[in-house]
Amino acid sequence: MALALADRAIGAIIGSAVADAAAQPLHWVYDLQKLSVLLSQSPEPEFRPESANPFYRRSTGQQSCYGDQAFVLLESLSECGGLNVEDLKQRTYKFFGAGSEYDTPVNDPYRDKGAPRPQLPIEGPWRQASLKSFIKNVDAGKAETGCETDNQIDGVAKLAPIIACYAGKPEMLERVEEAIRVTQNNDICVAVTLAAARFLEHFILNGPDPKALDAVLEQLNDPIRKNPQELDKAIIGLPGAFQAALHGVLTASGYEQAIRDTMSCGGCTCSRSSFIGACIGAQFTEEKFGQAEKTELDAHLETLLSRVESTKHWTEKIMKQTEVLLQPNPNVRMEEFLYEMLDKKVPTRANNHELLGESMIDSGHEFGPGTAYGSALIKCGETEKLLGSAEKEFIQSSAINFLTPFRNFIEGDFKTISKERKLLQNKRLDLDAAKNRLKKARVADARSAAETELRIAQSEFDRQAEITRLLLEGISSTHAHHLRCLNDFVDAQASYYAQCYQYMVNLQKQLGSFPSTFSNNNQPASTSSASISVPTAQAAASLPAPPPSQASPALNELRSTSGTRKARVLYDYDAASSSELSLLADEVITVSSVPGMDSDWLMGQRGNQKGKVPITYLELLN
């Protein structure tokens, strides 16, 4: 089964960390005779209970110095949302520097080389050469903190987090080099690490590929390759330690066996295992990584999940573009967003049409209303203000009837679906774990307990799958609701443009009454604007209703009294805050006017529930 890119990236990180911890008890065993004895005692040496490391001793399951560096890098990437070199330097110094677990007499970077040799193995972790140089360079205040002489494959061992973060991005190799030079400012080390980065990125992007070696070597031979290094050609010869690690990747028959094989070679098992584990983890995150069984969701559920994701994606995109259409000024959009976040009313401001109209009217009065030019300016200004008023009505209608329902879906329904979907994922993982435990159970009692656990896990998974399915099937209702909102938006646009068109036609007629000397430069004086074919009847029929204060005596009466009226709900409405009342189309509620309330809202009541409701969603009943 093809795995998602994110799954492979996670698989690389986990695969690297687990492999490093598995190899740590046999780290740095260079005595082949001793290694042979150890392997004869434990043919499966991973996670050996007692450490046989001749240099340092850590509890089984803990990371080596390489794994700890990878952890620090992962933490920095996660906290900063990407590579931040200064943050990585600070975290590395804090984790490995003065006062840390690594700060022991033997690990002292300033220890006298002529002092008596320490008693080995030491208790606790080992601070290797590049970290000691890094600490000294930081203490000295150097800008370039990496060790210039250490060319070992420490960088390869901690690749997984940064490749997982930048795989497929053009800046990947550049970010890798920046991260590696924090502790190893050595060209050979960087060139080897970048070659390894190309391999791991290839597996994260493509999964299993028998031609991975050819693909990477082709990249290294490419004269216009990304982030070229002078030593790239040397990498084609594959230096020793990296050659062994890559051999483990390319010949692996499975995750566990690959780690065992490289551990049986002795030496720096952790650095090789980290790279091997990352590459295999990326390729076989679930198929090979522990041979775990994955419970598949049924095809119908998968289709629904895909449909919901698509709905969310396009709803957000349509919302964004509609907001740009309604308010092209990004600064104003940001201001309106801040007011919304603070739950405050956006201050009323004149729009561009109204500002132009005011300027025209003022200039017309300045030139004199009795003059042809002054009179024309005043007429144009009044029309521009009408256009501005129509634009405001259109924006308000679109925001209430179109944007608000779309936003309610993203912030309400989709969040609920995401929550239940995450619970389903957790239940699936629990079920997979229960199946795996049943497979491994050998004793009758253990098998009986595992069967009981599996039945419970299966029941909980089925129940959560049904809950998730019901929510997902509601997406059809969402589409139907959005279709109604789309119709409202189109109606609002049609009314707005028809209204504007009628305003301009009327203005043309008024300007056409001036003497021919003042006729339009774009047409002969003898051509009257009245000769233009104008669908006045259709336009008038399409005009939106006048404001409630003018169009609805019943509403005026309601506002002038403290009484209540019955109102039928025209459309579904989802409350945007606790002060509002959600509505269902065709239901009848009680409404009243509250002094000081925005003129576009009434107070609605359904039984014991009360809240603000938008006037445009209601039809007052006699």
Q: pLDDT per residue over 386-439, tens digit each?
A: 999 999 999 989 989 999 999 999 988 998 998 898 888 878 878 888 888 888
Alpha helices by DSSP H, listed for 284-371, are 299-326, 330-341, 352-367
- Residues 6 or more apart whose Cβ sits within 8 Å of residue 257: none
Label residue 478 by pLDDT band (50, 70, 90): very high
SS3 610: strand
Q: Which amino acid is at 590?
A: T
Mean pLDDT of 245-253: 78
- C-alpha dist (Å) from residue 37 to 28, 34, 42, 126, 540: 15, 5, 9, 24, 97
Give the model's confidence band at 360: pLDDT under 50 very low, under 70 low, under 90 confident, else very high.
very high
Reported as a pLDDT band with limits 50, 70 and 90, residue 443 is confident
548-620: what CATH class? mainly beta
pLDDT at 542: 37
Look over the chain and give the mean of its residue pLDDT values, rounded to a whole number: 83
**Comparison of pLDDT for 594 and 537, the residue scoring more:** 594
Give the pLDDT confidence score for residue 338 in this predicted structure: 61
Residue-level pLDDT at 311: 93
What architecture (CATH level 2) is domain 299-542?
Up-down Bundle (1.20)
User: Per-residue pLDDT averaged across 128-135, rounded?
Assistant: 92
Higher-pLDDT residue of 212, 146: 146
Contact 472, 417 (CB under 8 A): yes
Cβ-contact 571, 482 below 8 angstroms? no
Coil, strand or helix at 377: helix
Task: Please report the pLDDT score of residue 226 as a whole number.
Answer: 58
What integer is the mean pLDDT of 561-565? Answer: 78
CATH 1.10.4080.10 residue window(s) in the chain: 5-283
Least confident span in 299-313, 320-334, 493-507, 508-522: 508-522
User: Could you report the per-residue pLDDT of 35-55, keeping only the tens digit for each?
Assistant: 888 888 888 899 998 899 999
* Burial class (CB within 10 angstroms; exposed 0-12, middle 13-18, buried 19+) of 316: middle
* pLDDT at position 123 over 50: yes
CB-based contacts of 585, cutoff 8 Å, min separation 6:
569, 570, 571, 572
* pLDDT (mean) for 149-156: 85
Query: Binning pLDDT at 50, 70 and 90, where does residue 340 land?
Result: low
Is pLDDT above 70 for 34? yes
Query: Does 22 or 542 have the greater pLDDT score?
Result: 22
Report pLDDT for 227.
56
Higher confidence at residue 1 or residue 92? Answer: 92
Which two tokens mark 543?
């005009």
CATH 2.30.30.40 placement within the chain: 548-620
Domain with CATH 1.20.1270.60 in the chain: 299-542
Instruction: Tell me which CATH code domain 5-283 carries.
Output: 1.10.4080.10
* Three-state DSSP class for residue 284: coil
pLDDT > 80? residue 537: no
Contacts of residue 519, defined as CB under 8 A and 6 or more positions apart, other chains included, come to: 512, 525
Q: What is the pTM of this model?
A: 0.48
Average pLDDT over residues 286-314: 78
Judge whether residue 80 has pLDDT over 80.
yes
Residues 6+ apart with CB under 8 A from 144: 137, 181, 185
Whether 322 and 403 have beta carbons less than 8 Å apart is answered as yes
